[in-house]
């Protein structure tokens, strides 16, 4: 009998009704006019807040995968509700959304944890975590058929970030893309938030994960999934594949009108 991780935040972070959800995401995609062509996308950074706030920015990022031959998506998530040392790869058969079940690629999941004392199979961090779940409907609307590897990092210290990056290199191929799920600064006024988030954006455009990691460790900038972004960038740092571009940026004040305490969002693509 299949073991499925049931939808935990449908009706809260995004619409629970399938028809409504399809309409909402369809409208996000229709408004997402990409600033350029991204031919060979191997990695994305996308936000994971409620759709009303970050859905449009997320759509810009995911739209770079349109008409690409993607068969497997590795989704990297921080753990918002549960601390644990290490990186947990879901050991069940799939994740459920209102659009149906996205199957786990068991072969790649098991290969990801092979020979690692830090990465392990299990359910730690997965049950209540929203950062993976909210991204799946965007992918289900865009990709005709795909499986995925759900990964939650319980501690974003350098040891775990580096270990994940190294293992990711073993499961990448031309049909696989990595998605690092992360929001940016939280609850500063719009001006301060922009300055903090500029530091993250600049590191991405310059493909400078060393500075990004240092800034995250010193709290010079903020990103709840910053360690996952660093892991992805390190894993994809090859001679032929290391361009990174900001596809869209926003903050919660753009929607709420309250610029006193905002949350920052961006989508970015690693491409060639």
Asked if the model's pLDDT at residue 186 lies above 70, the reply is: yes
DSSP H or E run through 46: strand 43-46
Coil, helix or strand at residue 144: coil
Residue with the larger pLDDT of the pair 104 and 144:
104
In the block, tokens 């938030």 appear at: 193
Angle at 250 (CA atoms; ends 244, 255), nearest 5 degrees: 160
pLDDT at 242: 80
The alpha-helical segments, DSSP class H, found in 88-222 are: 106-113, 136-142, 158-168, 190-205, 209-217
| Domain 4-271 coded CATH 3.40.830.10 | yes
Asked if the model's pLDDT at residue 272 lies above 90, the reply is: no
Q: What is the rounded average pLDDT of the residues 152-159?
A: 98
Residues 6+ apart with CB under 8 A from 257: none
Asked if the model's pLDDT at residue 126 lies above 70, the reply is: yes
Tens-digit pLDDT profile for residues 26-82: 999 999 999 999 989 999 999 999 999 999 999 999 999 999 999 999 999 999 999
Domain borders along the chain are: 4-271
Inter-CA distances, 227 with 6, 20, 47, 200, 264, Å: 26, 33, 14, 12, 17
| pTM to 2 decimal places | 0.97
pLDDT at 239: 65
Tens-digit pLDDT profile for residues 77-116: 999 999 999 999 999 999 999 999 999 999 999 999 999 9
Pairing label, strands 4-5, 94-97: parallel
Query: How far does the chain reach from its first CA to its final CA, in angstroms?
Result: 41
Residues 6+ apart with CB under 8 A from 90: 5, 104, 109, 121, 122, 123, 126, 149, 150, 151, 152
Coil, helix or strand at residue 179: strand
Other beta carbons within 10 Å of 193: 23
Q: What is the rounded average pLDDT of the residues 169-179?
A: 97
Q: What is the rounded average pLDDT of the residues 141-156?
A: 97
d(CA 86, CA 110): 15
Predicted confidence band of residue 232 (pLDDT cuts 50, 70, 90): very high
- Token couple for 179: 């998605």
Residue 259 φ/ψ, nearest 5 degrees: -100, 10
């Amino acid at each position: 009998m299949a073991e499925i991780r049931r939808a935990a935040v449908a009706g809260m972070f995004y619409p629970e009704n399938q028809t409504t959800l399809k309409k909402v995401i369809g409208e996000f995609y229709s408004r997402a006019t990409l600033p350029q062509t991204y031919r060979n996308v191997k990695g994305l950074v996308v936000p994971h807040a409620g759709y009303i706030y970050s859905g449009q920015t997320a759509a810009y990022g995911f739209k770079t995968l349109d008409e690409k031959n993607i068969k497997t998506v590795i989704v990297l998530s921080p753990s918002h509700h549960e601390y644990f040392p290490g990186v947990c790869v879901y050991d069940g058969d799939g994740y459920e959304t209102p659009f149906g079940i996205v199957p786990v690629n068991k072969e790649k999941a098991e290969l990801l944890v092979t020979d690692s004392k830090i990465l392990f199979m299990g359910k730690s961090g997965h049950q209540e975590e929203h950062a993976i779940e909210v991204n799946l409907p965007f992918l289900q609307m865009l990709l005709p058929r795909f499986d995925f590897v759900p990964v939650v990092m319980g501690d974003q210290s350098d040891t775990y970030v580096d270990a994940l990056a190294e293992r990711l290199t073993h499961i990448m191929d031309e049909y696989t893309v990595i998605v690092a799920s992360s929001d940016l600064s939280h609850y500063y006024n719009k001006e301060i938030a922009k300055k903090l988030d500029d530091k993250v954006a600049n590191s991405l455009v310059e493909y400078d994960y060393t500075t990004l990691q240092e800034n995250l460790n010193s709290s010079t900038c903020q990103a709840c999934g910053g360690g996952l972004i660093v892991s992805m960038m390190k894993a994809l740092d090859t001679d032929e594949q290391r361009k990174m571009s900001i596809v869209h940026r926003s903050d919660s004040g753009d929607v709420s009108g309250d610029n006193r305490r905002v949350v920052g969002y961006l989508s970015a693509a690693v491409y060639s």
